Amino acid sequence: MNAVDVLLLLAVAVFSILGAHRGLAAQALSLAGLALGAVLGSLVAPFLFPDNSAWLPLAGLAGALVGASLLGMLAAGAGRGARLVLFVPLWLAALGISQAGTGT
Protein backbone atom coordinates (compact mmCIF):
# COMPACT_ATOMS: atom_id res chain seq x y z
CA MET A 1 0.00 0.00 0.00
CA ASN A 2 1.50 3.32 -1.07
CA ALA A 3 0.70 6.94 -0.25
CA VAL A 4 -1.91 7.25 -3.01
CA ASP A 5 -3.86 4.30 -1.58
CA VAL A 6 -3.81 5.86 1.88
CA LEU A 7 -5.02 9.21 0.52
CA LEU A 8 -7.82 7.50 -1.40
CA LEU A 9 -8.90 5.57 1.70
CA LEU A 10 -8.91 8.78 3.74
CA ALA A 11 -11.00 10.53 1.08
CA VAL A 12 -13.49 7.64 1.01
CA ALA A 13 -13.71 7.72 4.81
CA VAL A 14 -14.29 11.48 4.91
CA PHE A 15 -16.97 11.38 2.21
CA SER A 16 -18.62 8.39 3.88
CA ILE A 17 -18.90 10.30 7.14
CA LEU A 18 -20.25 13.38 5.35
CA GLY A 19 -22.77 11.24 3.46
CA ALA A 20 -23.91 9.50 6.63
CA HIS A 21 -24.38 12.87 8.32
CA ARG A 22 -26.37 14.25 5.41
CA GLY A 23 -28.53 11.17 5.01
CA LEU A 24 -29.11 8.57 2.35
CA ALA A 25 -32.34 10.04 1.00
CA ALA A 26 -30.91 13.53 0.63
CA GLN A 27 -27.81 12.17 -1.07
CA ALA A 28 -29.84 9.99 -3.43
CA LEU A 29 -32.15 12.87 -4.37
CA SER A 30 -29.19 15.14 -5.04
CA LEU A 31 -27.65 12.48 -7.28
CA ALA A 32 -30.98 11.99 -9.07
CA GLY A 33 -31.17 15.76 -9.58
CA LEU A 34 -27.71 15.71 -11.09
CA ALA A 35 -28.73 13.06 -13.62
CA LEU A 36 -32.12 14.61 -14.37
CA GLY A 37 -30.64 18.08 -14.75
CA ALA A 38 -27.98 16.80 -17.14
CA VAL A 39 -30.61 15.10 -19.31
CA LEU A 40 -32.92 18.11 -19.30
CA GLY A 41 -30.06 20.51 -19.98
CA SER A 42 -28.96 18.40 -22.94
CA LEU A 43 -32.51 18.24 -24.31
CA VAL A 44 -33.21 21.97 -23.96
CA ALA A 45 -29.80 23.19 -25.20
CA PRO A 46 -30.42 22.60 -28.94
CA PHE A 47 -33.44 24.93 -28.76
CA LEU A 48 -31.40 27.70 -27.15
CA PHE A 49 -28.17 27.52 -29.16
CA PRO A 50 -27.49 27.07 -32.87
CA ASP A 51 -26.27 23.74 -34.25
CA ASN A 52 -22.59 22.96 -33.69
CA SER A 53 -22.33 25.53 -30.92
CA ALA A 54 -19.52 25.14 -28.42
CA TRP A 55 -22.03 25.95 -25.65
CA LEU A 56 -24.13 22.77 -26.03
CA PRO A 57 -22.08 20.62 -23.60
CA LEU A 58 -21.93 23.46 -21.10
CA ALA A 59 -25.73 23.72 -21.14
CA GLY A 60 -25.93 20.06 -20.10
CA LEU A 61 -23.43 20.70 -17.31
CA ALA A 62 -25.34 23.77 -16.15
CA GLY A 63 -28.57 21.78 -16.14
CA ALA A 64 -26.90 19.09 -14.04
CA LEU A 65 -25.71 21.64 -11.49
CA VAL A 66 -29.10 23.32 -11.29
CA GLY A 67 -30.92 20.00 -10.96
CA ALA A 68 -28.60 18.76 -8.22
CA SER A 69 -28.92 22.04 -6.34
CA LEU A 70 -32.71 22.14 -6.53
CA LEU A 71 -33.31 18.53 -5.53
CA GLY A 72 -30.59 18.78 -2.88
CA MET A 73 -32.34 21.79 -1.32
CA LEU A 74 -35.70 20.05 -1.45
CA ALA A 75 -34.24 16.96 0.18
CA ALA A 76 -32.58 19.04 2.90
CA GLY A 77 -35.87 20.78 3.67
CA ALA A 78 -37.80 17.52 3.75
CA GLY A 79 -35.14 15.93 5.93
CA ARG A 80 -35.24 18.83 8.37
CA GLY A 81 -39.00 18.52 8.66
CA ALA A 82 -38.83 14.76 9.12
CA ARG A 83 -36.19 15.10 11.83
CA LEU A 84 -38.36 17.59 13.72
CA VAL A 85 -41.42 15.34 13.50
CA LEU A 86 -39.54 12.20 14.50
CA PHE A 87 -36.99 13.32 17.07
CA VAL A 88 -38.57 16.21 18.99
CA PRO A 89 -41.43 14.09 20.40
CA LEU A 90 -38.87 11.47 21.45
CA TRP A 91 -36.84 14.06 23.33
CA LEU A 92 -39.95 15.52 24.92
CA ALA A 93 -41.09 12.06 25.98
CA ALA A 94 -37.67 11.32 27.44
CA LEU A 95 -37.75 14.58 29.40
CA GLY A 96 -41.29 13.87 30.62
CA ILE A 97 -40.34 10.39 31.76
CA SER A 98 -37.27 11.64 33.59
CA GLN A 99 -39.26 14.37 35.35
CA ALA A 100 -42.00 11.91 36.32
CA GLY A 101 -39.40 9.66 37.87
CA THR A 102 -38.01 12.44 40.08
CA GLY A 103 -41.40 13.54 41.38
CA THR A 104 -41.10 17.12 40.16
Tell me: the pLDDT tens digits for 10-63? 888 887 777 776 677 677 777 777 788 888 888 888 888 888 888 888 888 888
In a domain, 7, yes or no: no
In a domain, 19, yes or no: no
Tell me which residue range forms the domain holding 40.
24-102
- How many separate domains does the chain show? 1
Query: 73 falls in which pLDDT band (50, 70, 90)?
Result: confident
Q: How far is CA 20 from the centre of its chain?
A: 11
Dihedral of CA 71/73/75/77: which sign?
negative
| Distance in angstroms (rounded) separating the CA atoms of residues 74 and 57 | 26
- Check residue 32 and give its pLDDT: 79
- Check residue 40 and give its pLDDT: 83
Answer whether residue 102 shows pLDDT above 60.
no
The stretch 90-95 carries a mean pLDDT of 61
In a domain, 12, yes or no: no
